[in-house]
Structures are given as structure tokens and as C-alpha cells.
Amino acid sequence: MTVDVSTIYLLDVATGESVEAELRDAIEQAQLDDWQTKWQPALLAVLQELARKGVPMSQWPQSWHWNWAQKTARVQGLLAFRGFSVVARGETQGLAQVNLTKASREPSQVGKPLVYLDYLEVAPWNRPELGAAPRLRGVGSALITAATVLSIDEGFKGRLGLHSLPQADAFYRKIGMTDLGQDPAYQNLRYFEMTLEQARAFLEEE
């Protein structure tokens, strides 16, 4: 499989300088190796600290149990699923997996196909909610942008849907997505959708 690689720019939070990064339209073995050997130990250290402080598991980062090796293997070879990764400074900074077989719920576009963001995770060292100052900013936005552009390329006109983990609700509202409320069929997570107009505004902003 040929992987498309685009150059994007992230922000180094400490220095304020921009950092060149690769946006890759696949999740390859190198990314899974980074997840296993770099993300997992970093996340484990955070979880041990949370446990030591007596923080209940319900308040831990909700993606702590995600297994990217399994998620990727499960959809191997299926046209309905696509992966994206952001690589900078020689290591994986973010991963996303999308599903192209879902339909819109937002009233103005109900029933029309969209790109559904199944999973999006940013490397532990870039996540401000995990305690330490993040190293790079812009990874999550880059992955949302990639999913939105894919929606346009597939003829879905920028339509994008996702269930948000509670810690990310504010981010999806900030980028202009419509909050369609809690979904009892999906662990009561809030469901967000992006319309054609919202996608256009989001991409102009980026």
C-alpha cells in the first residue's frame, strides 16, 4: 500500500516555534511500535501517579485502555476503515481511525454518508489534561482536519461525526461541531457532527 504523506506544522509549546511534522494517511507498524514502546510507558507513569494520589478510575483519561494494535488488526484490509497518523521529531504524536460506512444524524443532513471518527488519540506527552505541560500542540486538530478533508475527497462534503470522550467535549464545541447530545446507545457519550458549512469554516480556520 502506498502511503500519502503531507507536511504539516505543529507548535512547540515550550519555545513557541513551529515544528515540521508528517501527516500520514495510514497507521503502520512504526506507529504501533511507538504506541507500544513510548506511549504505553508514558501513560502507565501517569496512571500510576493518579492511582498513588487516589484519583478514582472514573476520572482517569478515558482512552487509557485503548489498544491500537488490536484496533488496527481488526480492520486490516477493509475498505470501510482508514487510519491517519502524525509523526514529528521521529516519533508518533497522534493516531486516528475512521469509518466510512456511517450516516449523518444532524437534521439538515440526516441519512447522508459521513466520515465517522471511531478513535482519535494524541500521544500522552501532548495532552495537557494528563498533568504536565504538553510538548506539541495542534496534533488533534491536524487529525480532525485529515478526516474532514477525507470526507470532501470521498464526496461526503465535509460531513463528519464522532462520539466524544467527556474530556474532549469542549474541544469539539470550540471547533464548531453541533452537539447532538448524549447517545444512550453508545455509553451515553455525546455525539457531535460537522455539517458542510461547519467543515468549510473549520478548514478556513485551520
Partner 1 sequence: MTAKRTMTLNLTDAEMRVLDELSVRKDITKTAVLRQALRLYQTIDARVEKGEKLLFENEATKEKAELMLL
| Interacting residues with partner 1 (CB under 8 A) | 2, 4, 25, 78-80, 100-101, 109, 111-113, 153-157
Cα dihedral 97/182/175/152 (nearest 10): 50
Give the residue with the Cβ less far from partner 1, 56 or 111.
111
Give which of 106, 95, 205 is closest to 161, Cα–Cα.
106
Q: How far is the CB of 81 from partner 1 (least distance, A)?
A: 9
Number of alpha helices (DSSP H) and beta strands (DSSP E) in the chain? 6, 9
Q: Which is nearer to partner 1, 24 or 135 (CB)?
A: 24
Query: Which residue number, 165 or 196, has a Cβ lying nearer to partner 1?
Result: 196
Smallest gap from residue 185 Cβ to partner 1 (A): 11
Q: Which is nearer to partner 1, 26 or 69 (CB)?
A: 26
The CA distance from 178 to 160, in Å, is 10
Q: Residue 200 CB, nearest distance to partner 1 (Å)? A: 15
By the 10 Å C-beta count (0-12 exposed, 13-18 middle, 19+ buried), 37 is classed as exposed
Closest CB 186 distance from partner 1, rounded Å: 16
> What spatial distance separates the first Cα and last Cα of the chain, rounded to whole Å?
29
